[in-house]
Amino acid sequence: MSRYKGPRLKICRRLGNLPGLTRKTSKKQAPAGENGQRSRKPSEYSLRLEEKQKLRFNYGLHEKQLLRYVKTAKKVQGSTGLVLLQILEMRLDNTVFRLGMAPTIPSARQLVNHGHIMVNNKSVSICSYQCKPGDTIQVRPKEASKILIEKYMNFPGLSNTPSHLELNKNKLLGQVNGIIDREWVALQLNELLVVEYYSRK
C-alpha cells in the first residue's frame, strides 16, 4: 500500500487529532461518513484497527513498514507498545519535526529527502534513519536551507520540545540526549491495541 496523499482533514475527522499529519483543524464537528453517524457500537477489531491507523497516518508509514517496526519491537526486552513508539519517535523525519524545524512530519520528510538535513556532519536523505543518543542534527550550510528552516521555525507544529531533544535556534543545531519518555509522545492513542492488532498477523 502506498503512502497516503489524499485529504488530511478527512483522516483527522475520522481518527482524531494527528499532530504529525497536519496543523489544520476541521470546522465540521461530526465524524467523517454519511451524515457523520455511527450506526452501532464498534467491535474490538475496529477499535484496534483505528489505533493502528492513527499510528500509520500520523507517522506517514506504509503498512509493511509498520509491521516491520512491530516485529522489531517484539524482539526488544520491555513493553512492545512503548518500544514501538520509541522506534517511531526516533526516526529522523519525526525528530526534525519534534525539534520544530518543520510544521508537520510530511514537510520534515521533504526536508530530509531534499538533503537539507545533516546528522553528525554528514548529509542523510533517508527519513527512516534511526537517531541515537549523542547524535547532532543540523541544517546543511547553504543559504536556501537556512532560509527555509528559519521560516518553518517561526511557526512550529508543536509548542514544546521533548525532554530528550535540545535545540540551539541560533546555530540551527539539534541534539539527541536520550530516548523519548512515553509522556512526551504527542499522539493520543493506546499502543497496546496496536500490538494486539498485529499479534494476529
Q: What is the pTM of this model?
A: 0.84
83 & 118 share domain: no
153 & 129 share domain: yes
In the chain, how many domains are there?
2
CA-closest candidate to residue 18, choices 200, 188, 197: 188
The parent domain of residue 150 ranges over 91-178
Task: Report the largest interatomic distance among the alpha carbons of the chain, rounded to a whole angstrom.
Answer: 56
pLDDT in tens, 135-155: 999 999 888 888 888 888 887
User: Which grid coordinates are listed for 37?
Assistant: 453517524
16 & 80 share domain: yes
pLDDT in tens, 14-72: 777 777 676 666 666 665 565 555 556 778 888 888 889 888 888 888 889 999 999 99
CB burial of residue 45 (10 Å; 0-12, 13-18, 19+): exposed
69 & 106 share domain: no
On whether residue 126 sits in a domain, the answer given is: yes
Are the CB atoms for 151 and 102 separated by under 8 Å? no
113 & 66 share domain: no
User: Which grid coordinates are listed for 112?
Assistant: 530530509
